């Protein structure tokens, strides 16, 4: 199996230690702090548009209320997705995937695109995101990586765009990780960093898979993980981890 060579440091939801998560401002901050790749979340509006957003509901990171799956793009676009973070980001909108791709192309940033489907829309979201990436991903960038906690989303993405590599996201380290990665034809496992052990990292590497971990914000922890053979860390503070690998 050929594993795409991603950089060792990936900005989490842009650089969400410095700017509101999953916004254009956060993506720009990641580039400002030296990241070469960013991770961000995608889901569908009610009318089928792909937005960059994490939660099923909008309350935590906007001034609105309600479920994303119940809102059209026009309603989502008027929400303030930055004021909750600080006054300096007030008025920052929820981006579409197309808008995120445009700024990635401008900045020369690679992208780990997480599929974060609303409940019941797993296959639909996986298919839509994969098709959009296959059709519109900027030609000046390395091919993206699709990741998801949802096996159904990953399977739909694989069927829609088999040429885009995939990673399985997990909170608990699964005993049957070999079977899961094989069945979903994934290049990598992305796991919660505290669930990883040296033995697990070695087993994944020996099996030919990449292992990346989230969310790593402590330099000492990052150094230990790299010492275990981890290929990448996903972090809110890219500059902290970049100092370990430069």
90 lies in some domain:
yes
Marked catalytic residue, from 18, 49, 54, 190: 54
3 lies in some domain:
no
139 lies in some domain:
yes
* Domain encompassing residue 90: 9-245
Judged against a pLDDT cut of 70, whether residue 1 lies above it is answered with no
42 lies in some domain:
yes
2 lies in some domain:
no
* CATH code of the domain covering residue 47: 3.20.20.190
Based on the structure, what is the number of domains in the chain?
Answer: 1
Marked catalytic residue, from 12, 18, 49, 190: 12
Q: For 133-170, write each residue's pLDDT tens digit.
A: 999 999 999 999 999 999 999 999 999 999 999 999 99
Active site residue 18: no
What pLDDT does residue 246 have?
A: 81
175 lies in some domain:
yes
Going by C-beta distance under 8 Å and a sequence separation of 6 or more, which residues neighbour residue 169? 114, 147, 148, 149, 190, 191
29 lies in some domain:
yes
1 lies in some domain:
no
Active site residue 12: yes
Please tell me whether the overall predicted TM-score, pTM, comes out greater than 0.95 for this model: yes
Judged against a pLDDT cut of 90, whether residue 108 lies above it is answered with yes
What is the rounded average pLDDT for all residues in the chain?
A: 97
């Amino acid at each position: 199996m050929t594993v795409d060579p991603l950089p060792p440091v990936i900005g989490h939801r842009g650089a969400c230690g410095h700017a509101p998560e999953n916004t254009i401002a956060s993506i720009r901050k990641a580039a400002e702090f030296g990241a070469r790749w960013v991770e961000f979340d995608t889901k569908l509006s009610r009318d089928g548009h792909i937005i960059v957003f994490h939660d099923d509901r909008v309350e935590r990171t906007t001034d609105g209320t309600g479920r994303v799956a119940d809102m059209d793009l026009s309603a989502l676009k008027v929400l303030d997705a930055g004021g909750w973070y600080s006054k300096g980001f007030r008025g920052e909108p929820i981006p579409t995937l197309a808008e995120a791709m445009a700024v990635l192309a401008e900045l020369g940033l690679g992208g780990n695109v997480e599929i974060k489907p609303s409940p019941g829309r797993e296959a639909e979201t996986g298919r839509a995101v994969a098709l959009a990436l296959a059709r519109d991903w900027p030609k000046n960038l390395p091919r993206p990586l699709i990741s998801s906690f949802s096996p159904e989303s990953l399977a739909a993405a694989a069927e829609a765009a088999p040429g885009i590599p995939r990673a399985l996201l997990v909170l608990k380290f699964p005993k049957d990780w070999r079977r899961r990665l094989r069945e979903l034809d994934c290049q990598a496992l992305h796991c919660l960093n505290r669930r990883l052990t040296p033995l697990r990292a070695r087993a994944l590497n020996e099996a030919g898979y990449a292992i990346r971990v989230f969310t790593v914000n402590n330099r000492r922890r990052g150094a230990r993980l790299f010492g275990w053979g981890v290929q990448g860390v996903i972090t809110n503070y890219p500059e902290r981890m970049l100092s370990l690998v430069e």
